[in-house]
């Protein structure tokens, strides 16, 4: 079952009518989800962080397993609610989407908006396709093995680019009307 969280007088925890996830994600709790984002799979000294939400988290975990098996240290973050994540203290947000390695967002719906939380985003940039979701995901490369290949390209790009990789949350100018980090 999915949940939505709202704050203030009009905010409550509401169950949403969503199809069941194929399996519960280890380490996922409603308390963690209520922070808007949290680390699902942690590694120290990572080469890459993959951030996603919903069913794409399972794809990210599959990609991370493959990458970690190949010696590319990969952590995975679930970011189910941007607006609630944005309300968290800066220290918490920077512990989830930290500096030191590139962050790749994986999103089946659209990559719009992910630039705030990632260095690179992989997903649809236009209209998709109709059909059984597994076939559609395969057609667009939204599979663990393909995301692992995309992740390798991201890691290679940032290694060749050189220099320190700073969290995308660290910005010189904040958005107008938004909360500051």
Q: What is the CATH number of the domain that holds 114?
A: 3.40.50.920
Is there a domain that residue 177 lies in? no
Is there a domain that residue 1 lies in? no
Is there a domain that residue 148 lies in? yes
Beta bridge partners of 104: 50, 120
Is there a domain that residue 65 lies in? yes
Is there a domain that residue 59 lies in? yes
Per-residue pLDDT of the chain (181 residues; tens, 9 = 90+): 344 455 444 443 444 433 334 446 777 888 889 999 999 999 999 999 999 999 899 999 999 999 999 999 999 999 999 999 999 999 999 999 999 999 999 999 889 999 999 999 999 877 768 888 889 899 999 999 999 999 999 999 999 999 999 999 998 876 655 555 5
Is there a domain that residue 167 lies in? no
Global pTM value: 0.84
- The parent domain of residue 138 ranges over 29-161
Overall domain count for the chain? 1
Is there a domain that residue 39 lies in? yes
- Measured N-to-C along each axis, helices 144-161 and 56-69 cross at an angle, to the nearest 10 degrees, of 60
């Amino acid at each position: 079952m999915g949940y939505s969280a709202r704050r203030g007088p009009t905010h409550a925890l509401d169950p949403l009518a969503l199809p069941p996830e194929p399996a519960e994600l280890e380490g996922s709790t409603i308390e963690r989800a209520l922070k808007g984002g949290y680390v699902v799979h942690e590694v120290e000294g990572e080469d890459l962080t993959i951030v996603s939400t919903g069913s794409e988290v399972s794809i990210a975990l599959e990609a991370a397993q493959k990458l970690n098996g190949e010696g590319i240290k990969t952590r995975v973050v679930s970011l189910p609610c941007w607006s609630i994540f944005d309300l968290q203290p800066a220290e918490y947000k920077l512990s989830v989407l930290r500096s030191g390695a590139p962050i790749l967002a994986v999103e089946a719906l659209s990559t719009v908006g992910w630039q705030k939380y990632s260095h690179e985003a992989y997903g649809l940039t236009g209209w998709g396709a109709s059909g059984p979701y597994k076939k559609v995901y395969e057609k667009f490369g939204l599979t663990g093995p393909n995301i692992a290949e995309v992740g390798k390209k991201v890691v290679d790009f940032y290694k060749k680019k050189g220099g320190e990789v700073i969290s995308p949350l660290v910005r010189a100018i904040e958005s107008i009307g938004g909360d500051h980090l």
